[in-house]
Structure 1
Amino acid sequence: MSAITTFEEFNLNRQLLNAVSDLGFQQPTEIQQKSIPIILGGQELIGIAQTGTGKTAAYLLPVLMKIKYAQGTEPRAVILAPTKELTIQLAEHAKLLSKYTDIRIQAIYGGIGPKTQIENIQQGVDILISTPGRFTEIYQKGELPVKQVKILVLDEADRMMDMGFMPQLRKIFEVLPRKRQNLLFSATFPEKVEKLSAEFLEFPIKVEVTPQATAAKQVEQELYHVPNIKTKINFIEYLLKNKEDFNRVMIFTRSKENADNVFNFIERKHLGPVRVIHSNKGQNSRINAVNEFKEGKLRVLVSTDVTARGIDVVKVSHVINFDVPILYEDYVHRIGRTGRAFQDGKALTFVNRAEEYHIEKIEKLIREKIPEKSIPEEVVIEKTSFEEKQAIAKDIDDRKRRDDPTFKGAFHEKKASNKKVEKKADKKKEYSKADAKRNAFNSKNKAKADKRSGRKAADDKKYKGKTR
């Protein structure tokens, strides 16, 4: 079978083809070429494709084609996604592809009250895009009719498993009509996703366009050994001074604290405009920040992994991994924010001694060595604080112990050694105290003896005088 080279070759209606043309899509990607005919044929599908390969359109186009037009008030297709950001993103994408149809698309998600979302559902919806939590919440209120659902799509299934959505998904599968077409899309296919697919898919066709967890070819990767947080901050400053090359940058951190620190530094140094998003930020704040970044109003967006899969922005020039992710698949998703839609991109990763352990695991997962580069001479290398040294040593020990329960650890050996030294010192102190007591006692006794001998000598002298 020859490869499909244009969207015209799919069995899509003119309304969808016009929308595709408006979006500037010229040639279908590999996942689109393989998935669209299968979905249009009514078969169940597992699609394994990394981020940035066009997998969203790979299922949205055939789903829109099968829905065709607005009908009734109840949803006929449900798309489940793990995060609010991704849900909003998918709804926007679906609306762009369905702009020449009357298909009604509604996104529902947590973080805001359900009242308005329930009202929108009551007005009529054809395709419902939802997080598992909000779907369950509104269904349990009796405000979400599901009898007409003919298609169910799970997007970012690996992320859903990481976030512990399995119990909620099982409840959703139970309430949906049994006769439906099921589609599962995921960037990776670990054991948990395989188990999930076995539970709700019947005889699916598996389409895998790239080996699992492969970094996008158009993303140039670089690895820098950076000893501590202060030096990482200095490196960020050095890079962001190059405004021409680093024009649209995403910086990923592992913790909210680091995200806030990086944001505050960039803002203080006037290297933005910059915004930060993480789970402590309000829903509106997060949505506004993402929209501003998309529209080019922001130069830098700092984020924890909450948005690693929720942003589809073309022409992100650089992704900077300020911290190495400990969910190794997230490395692929982070760097996939750049190099999208056939554009080139660059991903820089900063790694300290503790994070070298995680890099080894990531390289094993993506089956390639990340090229190492030297820190530019202009970057000031700061001295690692005692507290950070301790944290790094403890992190290394904890990770090694998980791999080998018999491992004692340098950190703990040092601790034991320190305890020995402390014990010796304490003993010395005890001996010193005992010696001091003994000496004091001896001195006291000597003084008493001297006093007695002095008195005796005086008495003897006195006695001798009398006898004469």
Structure 2
Amino acid sequence: MSESFRSFNLNKQLLDAVADQNFTTPTEIQERAIPAIIAGQDIIGIAQTGTGKTAAYLLPLLMKIKYAQGMDPRAMILAPTKELVVQIAAHATELAKYTDLRIEPLYGGVGPKTQIEMIRKGVDIIVATPGRFMEIYLKKELPTAALKFLVLDEADRMMEMGFMGQLRKVLEVIPRKRQNLLFSATFSGKVEQLSAEFLEFPRKIEITPPATPAKQVDQSLYHIPNIGTKLNFLGYLLQNEEEYNRVMIFARTKGSADNIVSYLETKGFGPTRVIHSNKGQNSRINAVNEFKEGKLRILVSTDVTARGIDVERVSHVINFDVPVFHADYVHRIGRTGRAFREGSALTFATPAEKYHIDKIEEIIRERIPVKKLPAEVTVVSTPYAESQAMAKDIDFQKRKEDPDFKGAFHERKNKPDSTPPQRERKNKPDNTSQQRDRKNKHR
């Protein structure tokens, strides 16, 4: 092990765990953040995915807590999704393997009963989504008086997902006197606002400019009219098995991911697996492991795995759908080009997705090179329903930028009925004659 990790004055238990993880030289975020956190400073850590930022806060946190004590949690790590919570808790458990520290993940999607039982047995560190934390706290099953450390991980994603309100509620119910750590891939205006509310005189550690794509990733953008043509282009690319030998395909929704896999299976590509929130935890873990081991050529996923999956030698990342959480673009394409190897990232964009491409290019501060669709790819006509959906999306995007914009759908909705008033009156039932008939009947 490098003497650099020993220079942090970590205890033997942590150094042994670091050795087991095959960590050799600390990354830049670890080199700069670990001593500051051990010294008790509030930290804003801005670093790309794949830079070792999780260990950058876990190692000093574990060092400061040291051993199991009492029944109530002394540290809490908040993350935006169940998948990230599970991932962080697993990483923490590995680093704490030679200690007696008790680490418990808290997340939704399952009943809270088992999680509450674990809390009652005693816990030192909780890793939680904000919603599940508040749910268990409001049941009076999660004491907070002993909390001394709070970490917000993936703060940019939390802000994009609208967690500000929930985070404020969390901050209201935990002790004011604590050490705070905020880690994020970007430092957007919303993250800056959060840090102003959450941190006191923080030290900002910025490793690379926010949302900077890795230099070794070759990016390309294809403007494609519709989903059918996207599928045809995907099939065209995957015919080249030698070049496209380990491919991650990202879809925006579970339905889109499932449709891609159905298409690939029909065309005989593969082997292929899909992972999203409807898949069981074991299914997702097995799929990722098969992909890591090279048994799986194609892995289709929603953004639940865009952050944190560490697979070497991914030849290509294909953004079948453009992410609407724009910082996710960097995290997606960061699955290739890892460990200083070259990689390729291709993005397919319909006219309705151009808005998101423009926003992504603002974040990464560069243009994604545009390439022409190969002549061999069959371009199909856009179905009416898809065309209407895209038109509605474009109207929504324009209204988002300009609240006074009145789109085509707005105008059609408010357009006066073309039916002449006289014809409407003629077709209506004559209530007066009906009443006269009823009176004559009773007579």
- TM-score range (shorter-chain normalised) is 0.7 to 0.9
Partner in structure 2 of residue 37 of structure 1: 35
Which residues of 2 match residues 68-467 of structure 1 at below 5 A?
68-281=66-279, 285-286=283-284, 289-290=287-288, 292-294=290-292, 296-309=294-307, 311-405=309-403
Distance 1:51 1:241, change over 3 A: same
Q: C-alpha distance in 2, partners of 1:123/1:148?
A: 16
Distance 1:247 1:62, change over 3 A: farther
Pick the aligned partner of 2:63 from 42, 65, 69: 65
Q: Deviations over 1:92-114 (max 9, x none)?
A: 11122222323222212111122
Distance 1:105 1:248, change over 3 A: farther
Q: Is the Cα contact below 8 Å between 1:85 and 1:310 reproduced in 2?
A: no
Distance 1:377 1:120, change over 3 A: same
Q: Which amino acid aligns with 1:325?
A: P
Q: C-alpha distance in 2, partners of 1:409/1:137?
A: 41
Partner in structure 2 of residue 434 of structure 1: none
Q: Which amino acid aligns with 2:139?
A: K
Q: C-alpha distance in 1, partners of 2:394/2:83?
A: 33
Q: C-alpha distance in 2, partners of 1:218/1:19?
A: 31
TM-score (norm 2): 0.84
Distance 1:140 1:171, change over 3 A: same
Deviation of the 1:198 alpha carbon: 1.5
Q: Which amino acid aligns with 1:38?
A: A
Q: Which amino acid aligns with 1:77?
A: A
Q: C-alpha distance in 2, partners of 1:409/1:175?
A: 44
Q: Is the Cα contact below 8 Å between 2:49 and 2:308 reproduced in 1?
A: no
Q: Which contiguous aligned blocks of 4+ residues in structure 1 show a shift greater than 4 angstroms? A: 279-297, 405-413
Q: Is the Cα contact below 8 Å between 2:275 and 2:284 reproduced in 1?
A: yes
Distance 1:182 1:377, change over 3 A: same
Distance 1:121 1:232, change over 3 A: same
Q: C-alpha distance in 2, partners of 1:376/1:402?
A: 34
Distance 1:406 1:58, change over 3 A: same
Q: Percent identity?
A: 69
**Alpha-carbon RMSD:** 3.0
Aligned residues: 419
Deviation of the 1:405 alpha carbon: 4.9
Q: Deviations over 1:302-340 (max 9, x none)?
A: 223343335344443322111112232221222223334
Q: Deviations over 1:272-326 (max 9, x none)?
A: 3333334455566555545554555543332233433353444433221111122
Q: Is the Cα contact below 8 Å between 1:85 and 1:311 reproduced in 2?
A: no
Q: Is the Cα contact below 8 Å between 1:80 and 1:153 reproduced in 2?
A: yes
Segments of 5+ residues of structure 2 without an aligned counterpart are: 421-443
Question: Counterpart of 1:16 in 2: which secondary structure?
Answer: helix
User: Larger C-alpha radius of gyration, 1 or 2?
Assistant: 1
Question: Counterpart of 2:317 in 1: which secondary structure?
Answer: strand
Q: Which amino acid aligns with 2:175?
A: P
Question: Counterpart of 1:355 in 2: which secondary structure?
Answer: helix
Q: Which amino acid aligns with 2:29?
A: I
Q: C-alpha distance in 2, partners of 1:401/1:144?
A: 43
Distance 1:277 1:52, change over 3 A: same
Q: Which amino acid aligns with 2:8?
A: F
Q: C-alpha distance in 2, partners of 1:167/1:75?
A: 23
Deviation of the 1:188 alpha carbon: 1.4
Question: Counterpart of 2:352 in 1: which secondary structure?
Answer: coil
Deviation of the 1:170 alpha carbon: 2.0
Q: Deviations over 1:219-259 (max 9, x none)?
A: 22121222321121122222223334433322122233322
Q: C-alpha distance in 2, partners of 1:259/1:410?
A: 31
Distance 1:46 1:378, change over 3 A: same
Which region of structure 1 is more displaced relative to structure 2, 286-295 or 206-215?
Answer: 286-295
Distance 1:141 1:395, change over 3 A: closer
Question: Counterpart of 1:207 in 2: which secondary structure?
Answer: strand
Question: Counterpart of 1:324 in 2: which secondary structure?
Answer: coil
Which residues of 2 match residues 16-55 of structure 1 at below 5 A?
16-55=14-53
Distance 1:247 1:115, change over 3 A: farther
Segments of 5+ residues of structure 1 without an aligned counterpart are: 428-468
Distance 1:411 1:176, change over 3 A: closer
